[in-house]
Amino acid sequence: MALDFTGRRVIVCGGSRGIGRSTALGFAAAGAAVSICARGADTLETTRREIAGFGHQAHAGVCDLASADAIRAYIADAASALGGVDILVNNASGFGMTDDAAGWSAGFNVDVMAVVHASHAALPHLEKASNGCIVSVSSISAYRPSMRSAPYAAVKAAVVQYTTSQAMALAPKGIRVNAVAPGSIEFPGGSWEKRREEGSPVYQAVLNAIKFGRLGTPEEVADVILFLASPMARWVTGQTITVDGGQLLYS
């Protein structure tokens, strides 16, 4: 069944590439007006033009998602450009991998606090919307210990937990809150493509753990995000949906 987001206004934080880009394009293809933000102006503008190609309002703003002030300014600009906000997607990651101050800071400031700041900034607009919702992007790393990327796993677990707390707090306002937990997703310019090209044993180990014989695509995650944001999921809140092709079953 095709999803129809005609008249809906969507913000995708971290929307210029990978899962964020595919999510933004998916909403635009389904009729939504879409705003995206990221740090890289060139990639951001390229994606904005792709969104505009569907014939709907397309807005983009350069934003450092580690900065609360920058997030608040961006959300205000996006809401003004779109005429409001119905759906917020929190997709950005600082990819804090190293178990040191830099790794923890990168992960906490973006993966956790950007979700908090963007949600707070968008809330007045979501309260005015009909059936407003928030969807955040976690990871299957949230569900298991990690020696290779302890900060990343921990902050993604925090996103899962915060999703449940947000869902409880915002249900009386008619706002649903859910998350997705992607497995290993490969796309041009992404970290898994780089690992494959380098012949990384980590890539091969992950590939061996996915019995479908491939890594996931951004579109496969975006489809679940769109479902969670749609009326078809109108009685779903406080949930995190794993999108990993069964990777967790074997790894």
Catalytic residues: 152
The encoded tokens of residue 235 equal 């009685």
Taking CA atoms, 140 is separated from 53, 63, 65, in Å, by 33, 26, 22
The encoded tokens of residue 14 equal 């971290």
Beta-bridged to residue 176, according to DSSP, are 133
CA angle centred on 178, ends 105 and 124, rounded to 5°: 80
Position of tokens 């090209």? 197
Q: Which residue type occupies 15?
A: G
What is the DSSP secondary-structure string of 189-204? TSHHHHHHHHT-HHHH
Nearest alpha carbon to residue 231 among 11, 18, 30: 30
**Is 18 in contact with 192 (CB distance < 8 Å)?**
no
C-alpha torsion sign, points 59, 127, 129, 166? positive
Q: What's the CA gap between 250 and 224, in Å, rounded?
A: 22
**Is 177 in contact with 166 (CB distance < 8 Å)?**
yes
Q: What's the CA gap between 242 and 46, in Å, rounded?
A: 29
The encoded tokens of residue 228 equal 């969670």
